[in-house]
Chains A and B, each alone.
Chain A
Amino acid sequence: MHNFEYAAPASVADAVAALAKPDAKVLAGGQTLLPTMKQRLAAPTQLVDLRKVAGLAGISREGDAVVIGAMTRHADVAASPLVHDAIKGLGALAGLIGDPAVRHRGTLGGSLANNDPAADYPAAVLALGATIVTNKREIVADDYFKGLFETVLGEDEIITKVKFPIPEKSAYEKFRNPASRYAMVGVFVAKSKTGVRVAVTGAGSSGVFRQKEMEAALAANFAADAIKGVKIAAANMISDLHGDADYRAHLVGVVARRAVEASA
């Protein structure tokens, strides 16, 4: 790892100021950034550690939404009765990320800023129609993800929290790569008064995406059989040593049906 300067400011404003240095980067749980730096795939000159910034961690219920701070660890989301009662799929998802040690450090904000095409949280954010709140603005999920490891976040923009609307039913099903534990295919299904949303991670060659044919079929009849006929094209699927595009396309259907069956 190349050397860098380290700052641990106590407020969002001070963190943004520290990010003004060239090649500065936010450090949250470090579970993606530090491995990347160790491999010298990233070499920021300044790390701005958010660990002391007040008010960035925590889970609360605000009206018909669950609001989770950007620095909230995966383990805390997984262990939260509030999350499990309100959005069952979201609590389950957090408990499936990586392993216990990764969950003790990794954060919601870090996962969303990174937008790995095989990460889990992006599926929940997109399927639940969550709103990402930053130091500058509020971004709806449909506008936030911009392809592989790309989002609309600016260089000096910090995610502070995410607002997840509470659905009637939800579930997340993940077909894990047994070695890395990332999603080969992960499907989040959310049914609410306004309709059904289905988001797929791990499979799409430009990252997380909504499967609108499934959404329409499920809005008419919320049952696994309703999406049996939906054909998933292999054209936009990831093909790698873990599985080719045809295999992933097939898995999307299987995993989506399991998610519908598991919805509660």
Chain B
Amino acid sequence: MVQVSMTVNGKAVSAHVEPRTLLVQFIREHLRLTGTHVGCDTSQCGACVVHIDGKAVKSCTTLAASCEGAQITTIEGLAHGGKLHPMQQAFQDNHGLQCGYCTPGMIMTAVDMVNRKGHQLDEATIRHELEGNICRCTGYHNIVKSVAQGAREMGGAK
């Protein structure tokens, strides 16, 4: 067993876990934050994307033990005071989800994208940046629209 301590959505957490515990298992099963999803076993679908120290990563392909001391943000950490994060709101406004399974990973990837690429994102950039996130429902069209709106609104534009 290994002792892990990290900050998840601003809260200090620590636990004794098996070394093989994946970050996503730690988040879902130990912390009971089940917004982060597991959609594949092959590191390809992106449903499990969270931020480690501000960067999007696949939590199914990271050991919890490797996140000792890290700052983690999950989908549960985006909304504040009952108000959705602008990227969450954009997905709602644009019908950017159907079943919603891929959505937490899409939104975490989108927020990371804006942090790196800014608030004016063209369609080609958004599609390229979403390569690691698979959606079986929407056909991506409304996801791309959502990300573009969310990016603008994260910059304060309406």
| Interface of chain B residues 25 through 68 with chain A (CB within 8 A) | 41-44, 46, 49, 52, 55-58, 61-63, 65-66, 68
Given known contacts A4-B20, A101-B57, A105-B61, is B129 in contact with A27 (CB within 8 Å)?
no
Tell me whether B2 is interfacial, beta carbon within 8 Å.
Answer: yes
Asked whether, in the complex, the Cβ of B62 is within 8 Å of the Cβ of A105, the reply is yes
| Interface of chain A residues 88 through 103 with chain B (CB within 8 A) | 98-102
Q: Name the A residues within 8 Å of B112 (CB-CB).
A: 100
Asked whether, in the complex, the Cβ of A102 is within 8 Å of the Cβ of B58, the reply is yes
Secondary structure of the B side of the interface? Answer: mixed
Nearest to A2 among chain B residues (CB) is B20
Asked whether, in the complex, the Cβ of B19 is within 8 Å of the Cβ of A101, the reply is no
Minimum CB–CB distance for B130 against chain A, Å:
8
Interface size on B, residues (CB 8 A): 30
Cα A101 to Cα B42 with chains together (Å): 14
Q: Which of A38, A105, A180 makes the CB contact (< 8 A) with B57?
A: A105
Given known contacts A3-B18, A6-B2, is B55 in contact with A31 (CB within 8 Å)?
no
Interface size on A, residues (CB 8 A): 28
Cα A104 to Cα B19 with chains together (Å): 22
Asked whether, in the complex, the Cβ of A102 is within 8 Å of the Cβ of B132, the reply is yes
Tell me whether B109 is interfacial, beta carbon within 8 Å.
Answer: yes
Q: Which of A2, A27, A39 makes the CB contact (< 8 A) with B66?
A: A27
Asked whether, in the complex, the Cβ of B63 is within 8 Å of the Cβ of A35, the reply is no
| Interface of chain A residues 1 through 29 with chain B (CB within 8 A) | 1-6, 8, 27
Asked whether, in the complex, the Cβ of B56 is within 8 Å of the Cβ of A34, the reply is no
Q: Name the B residues within 8 Å of A98 (CB-CB).
A: 132
Cα A197 to Cα B49 with chains together (Å): 39
Q: Name the B residues within 8 Å of A242 (CB-CB).
A: none
Tell me whether A68 is interfacial, beta carbon within 8 Å.
Answer: no
Minimum CB–CB distance for B134 against chain A, Å:
10
Tell me whether A146 is interfacial, beta carbon within 8 Å.
Answer: no
A23-59 vs B, CB cutoff 8 Å, 1 = contact: the mask equals 0000100110011011100000001010100000000
Q: Which of B44, B46, B49, B62 makes the CB contact (< 8 A) with A30?
A: B62
B104-115 vs A, CB cutoff 8 Å, 1 = contact: the mask equals 000001001100
A residues contacting B by CB (< 8 A) are: 1-6, 8, 27, 30-31, 34-35, 37-39, 47, 49, 51, 75, 98-102, 104-105, 180-181
B residues contacting A by CB (< 8 A) are: 2, 18-20, 22, 41-44, 46, 49, 52, 55-58, 61-63, 65-66, 68, 109, 112-113, 116, 129, 131-133
